[in-house]
Chains A and B, each alone.
Chain A
């Protein structure tokens, strides 16, 4: 953790902590509508001061029951405690949420209560007596509705006053009897401070009415699933179609930079290294547009309140293989990139479900596999109508889904169940997402992705660049360089392994290079095919044509439908992405499971690829 914070924003999920945090700090954080999605806590600086303030994952009580709740409790009662807490409560949920206030007051924490959603209270024709609430609890209470910016400055003023020097005691767990007693008392407290009055608002539909109306369709047993499929289908397609031109632009730009820097001083080590850096940066940044589009979609769904509903809708289907509704967003993200997907599993409050989700994420067909599939499909369906590879690609995506479900189901049977998982998910009111806040969120998440994944990707890409460049970095052509490189040697060494799946050493070199990033397979294959097929030095031969004409030593074609199929099966299952491996180590909290994934998935991929090839030969 490291950072010493002097102020912590604490509150139940959906109480508006993050919105308040943004208002108090003007920092780049975000409001969240999906219970428990503020993973880790964000630290900012209070406006006009040097006071550091933390936004924490939501908690219902001081008795934590999920990994995220433990994060918050760890901050509050760990070694570097904040000196004061701002407790953020939803005014429309007052009677339930005051429980947390009571528990925090009991520990002796210096406390200020910030009441949010007071605008919704008005819609419900209610008003709240703040001084009375403050008197009854014995702590200051300030209303900070999104529509009343004065509340925020009042809160800032209050926080500028020195906090009382008090030492908070670690919380004493409450018995259920005590919780029951307090809940009843708090119902009386909230009833005494809330006044209903018919004059307060017109008879416009309230947010709650709208929510009820919309949910009649979106949570409908039949239409609910239909809308779900339509919404997710739209998100999924836009992740690919909207981002495709941007991705091409980014990767084209870095390829150009790399070739320019190499051309600066051909054969020189420095220029080659610069080129390697650019290629590695390209490997990181190519997927950023796509990940941003994914984040925009997920954030819109989150902030509108739909994501909690989506999780509820798919909880049962996912539950049949040991997962749960909360696994949905991580698995969907896995189709763009496994790294943000793994980070997203932190909101799964059950250890075993999270473990299973982390385990199968590498099987989701991430977009780095797409260039490989499209190359191999174009090869198989050479000269045939475009809809054929299109259908085949859809089939590949379903195959990856079934593979994931199958592995999850098997692990679910093998791995002993620990404490039973619980699924108690609050379904918030629908609210229109604020564009500004969505964009801030997307920027934050992208930044956090780059921070977490960037270094690993850079290191592994540079390693593979090193392996494909040395020792003969000054070879006359890039294909000779690759052939003589360390990775070229590895490729030759695994040649005997390649022939059962229909490949030879050239396929091996391309496969090993793909451990930098899967799409590198395509570039490596074109390099390695040109060296052996174009003795004349003609390097402009298009890759597909080289694949058609490449032959083995005995003169039989290297690439056939069978060997291309075997390669696709290999890519479907193999865990080649070293960056995913690095992130998995952190998320699993050790090397054991990432190693099992790495070895297990690659062996399984190899076995299935060999089986595919051998069956096709029959």
Chain B
């Protein structure tokens, strides 16, 4: 058991735009999680859900001072 799985959490993308939240978990395919970790998306990290590109495009998230665009699939690896 991971220990993390019991924490109540919801998708980052389910928060209203403009929210600043603390990540609780990063879950998904291995390569993706690895890249997200490398980019600074770690559990415990504070992120800012800045917006979303038009036509339900990529999400725009700020972490550690960097602005990063993520497709829904990547953004849905992030739980807060």
Q: Tell me the A residues contacting B by CB distance below 8 Å.
A: 60-61, 63, 65, 92-93, 95-96, 99, 176, 179-180, 183-184, 187, 211, 219, 221-222, 224-225, 308, 311-317, 319, 325, 419-420, 422-427
Contacts and interface: CB of A to CB of B under 8 A. Distances in A.
Interface in B22-77: 29-40, 42-44, 51-58, 60, 63-71, 73-74
Contact of B68 (A176, A225, A315, A425): A425
B54 A222 contact: yes
A316 B42 contact: no
A65 B31 contact: yes
B41 to A, nearest CB: 9
Among the interface residues A225, A314, A316, A424, which one has the most CB atoms of the partner chain B within 10 A?
A: A424
30 contacts: A60-B35, A60-B39, A63-B34, A93-B65, A93-B66, A96-B40, A96-B66, A176-B33, A187-B64, A221-B53, A224-B54, A308-B69, A312-B69, A313-B53, A313-B57, A315-B71, A316-B56, A316-B57, A317-B55, A420-B73, A422-B71, A423-B69, A423-B74, A424-B39, A424-B71, A425-B68, A425-B69, A426-B39, A426-B68, A427-B69
Given A176-B33, A422-B32, A423-B74, A315 B38 contact: no
Interface of B: 29-40, 42-44, 51-58, 60, 63-71, 73-74
B36 A95 contact: no
Given A176-B33, A221-B54, A316-B55, A60 B73 contact: no
Contacts of B30: 176
A420 B29 contact: yes
A425 B36 CA distance: 11
Nearest to B37: A179
A222 B57 CA distance: 12
A556 B38 CA distance: 71
A95 B64 contact: yes
A432 B34 CA distance: 33
A427 B39 CA distance: 12
A92 B65 CA distance: 8
Contact of A179 (B32, B38, B53, B69): B38
A221 B52 contact: yes
B54 A96 contact: no
- Please report whether the interface of chain A is mostly helix, strand, loop or mixed according to DSSP: helix
A424 B33 contact: no
A184 B31 CA distance: 20
Contact of B58 (A61, A65, A95, A316): A316
A79 B9 CA distance: 48
Given A92-B65, A176-B33, 6 more contacts: A93-B64, A99-B38, A311-B69, A312-B69, A423-B58, A424-B36
A313 B54 contact: yes
- Sorted from nearest, which 4 A-B pairs have the closest CB atoms? A316-B57, A423-B71, A312-B69, A427-B67
B48 to A, nearest CB: 11
A425 B58 CA distance: 10
Contacts of A93: 64-66
B42 A184 contact: yes
A96 B53 contact: no
A241 to B, nearest CB: 29
A80 B51 CA distance: 45
Given A312-B60, A420-B29, A425-B69, A65 B35 contact: yes
A181 to B, nearest CB: 10
A183 B35 CA distance: 12
B74 A176 contact: no
B60 A427 contact: yes
Nearest to A224: B54
A64 to B, nearest CB: 11
Contact of B53 (A65, A316, A419, A426): A316
Contacts of A317: 55, 57
Contacts of B42: 180, 183-184
B77 to A, nearest CB: 10
Nearest to B32: A422
Contacts of B43: 180
A101 to B, nearest CB: 13
A424 B54 CA distance: 17
Nearest to B33: A176
A424 B50 CA distance: 15
A277 B39 CA distance: 53
A180 B58 CA distance: 25
A184 B44 CA distance: 10
A136 B22 CA distance: 28
Contacts of A96: 39-40, 63-64, 66
B35 to A, nearest CB: 6
B53 A312 contact: yes
A325 B57 CA distance: 10
Contacts of B51: 219
B15 to A, nearest CB: 17
A183 B65 CA distance: 15
A255 to B, nearest CB: 47
Contact of A325 (B29, B35, B38, B58): B58
Given A92-B65, A422-B71, A427-B67, A224 B39 contact: no
A224 B53 contact: yes
A183 B68 contact: no
B67 to A, nearest CB: 4
